[in-house]
Amino acid sequence: MENKIYPRLLTISVNAWSDKNSTGNTFSNFFGNWDKNKLANLYLRDEEIDNKCCSKYFRITEKDIFKSLIYGIELGSEVTYETNSKHTNSKCNNIKKNSKFVEYVKRMRPHIILLLRELFWSIGFQKKNKLNSFLKEFDPEIIYMHCHSLFYAHKILNYCHNYTKAKVVVFFGDEVYSYKSVLPINRIYHFILRHLIRKTLTISEIQYGGSAKLCDYYSNLFGKEFKLLIKGTQPIKIKPKPHNLPLRIVYAGNLLYGRWLTLSLLAKAIEEVSINKNLYSLEIYSNTPLSKKMELGLNTNYSSYMGPASYSDIVKHLNDADIVLHVESFRKKDISLTKYSFSTKIIDCIQSGSCIIAIGPPELASIDFLKKSGAALTLHTYNEICIKLNSIVTDIEILDDCASRMQNYTKNNFELDSVRTNIFNDIVKMLVIKTRLK
């Protein structure tokens, strides 16, 4: 570790800090070189921690909220790797498949259910002596949070800030402020969320955004600077791959916001161009529960839904693939939801050293980013998909050429060491300025 004086940094996340989920993986990417003794994590799900960066944790779950409401028990508990391991092992002995109702909620996210959950957290977040002791002992100088559409995460951030007087740094990976629906219950949900986001931004000192378009939009909207922050990449070692038919195409990510429709469109195109020649195979790895309609669209003669896989397995699948995918939906309602978003899965695709194909509307931030890189094959229509699939099998060298160009692009724009150094410098500069102003 460099000879730097690292401030005490408390991270707040909904999911546990695990390199196996996207938030935890991004945390490790941003803070992997931080002084481990000056890094802590407050998380809000009953999940396993799994990273090499952080050693101090405090967990509050919905089960804790329930026990506090019913029995008056103090909220939450400190977690170590030892207690986390025991907790995980006990859970592994009782693995249950989610009910159809739970799968429906995960897939559709009905706002009436979300509002009821928020009410539950609001009423139950009362007995905070354990949390106060944790905050007092760690005494953070900085609080960092990925902002999203959950009320209780914003409320807990505000509480921790008020209790510790620590400076706040926030990151927005998605555009969650604008109204997304005309339905009354959805409008009520977003009205409250907008209020909480504005409140969070009144206490934040540094604001990061996950795409250039998002940074520009939010900077103009809120009158505060939003800095671009994208996951860093390790130096990519491109190894020549033997590309044999069928060419292996791999998608790893969620199927929400209509992404499954684009994947089914690709599956249809593969079937059309193959005509029994077995030119491509499409593998889809995702935690998203499937409806019957999704199953029919994703499982074809040349396409298979593989279900969830561990992060290490996902990395291997991406590395071994001939082509890796980033897809977005062409539906208007999905475009409005993902217009400014930048998926962290894109960096996993880049890191794989495989050729990237991006399919989606050109106005979306993620598709625009990959197109401007000049190192990915970006496709916007069904006809373009079919043409490109046909041309690849006649000129397979294009796959290695795209991978090589992406290596050069990432080296010049967001290498991991540079990303981490920029975050550290931003935070230290802000602390120095605030100290001088006192």
Q: What is the pLDDT of residue 28?
A: 95
Q: Which residues of 92-110 are buried (b: 16+ CB within 10 A; e: fewer)?
A: eeeeeeeeeeeeebebeee
pLDDT interval class at 96 (50, 70, 90): very low
pLDDT tens digits for range 54-66? 989 999 999 999 9
In percent, how much of the chain has pLDDT > 70?
91
| C-alpha R_g of the chain | 22
CB 9 within 8 A of CB 169: no
pLDDT interval class at 111 (50, 70, 90): confident
pLDDT tens digits for range 240-257? 778 999 999 999 999 999
Q: What is the pLDDT of residue 89?
A: 47
Q: What is the pLDDT of residue 105?
A: 59
pLDDT tens digits for range 313-359? 999 999 999 999 999 999 999 999 899 999 888 999 999 999 999 99
pLDDT of 103 > 50? The answer is yes
Instruction: Enumerate domains of the chain plus CATH numbers.
Output: 9-232+416-437 (3.40.50.2000), 247-413 (3.40.50.2000)
Please give the backbone phi and psi of residue 145, each rounded to the nearest 5 degrees, phi first.
-145, 140
Closest Cα to residue 270, out of 297, 294, 295, 302?
302
Identify the bridge partners of residue 307 per DSSP, sorted by sequence position: 285
364 DSSP assignment: S
Closest Cα to residue 288, out of 18, 103, 29, 61?
103
pLDDT tens digits for range 263-319? 999 999 999 998 878 999 999 999 888 999 999 999 999 999 999 988 889 999 999
CA separation, residue 305 to residues 129, 152, 284, 316 (Å): 46, 34, 5, 17
The model's pTM is 0.89
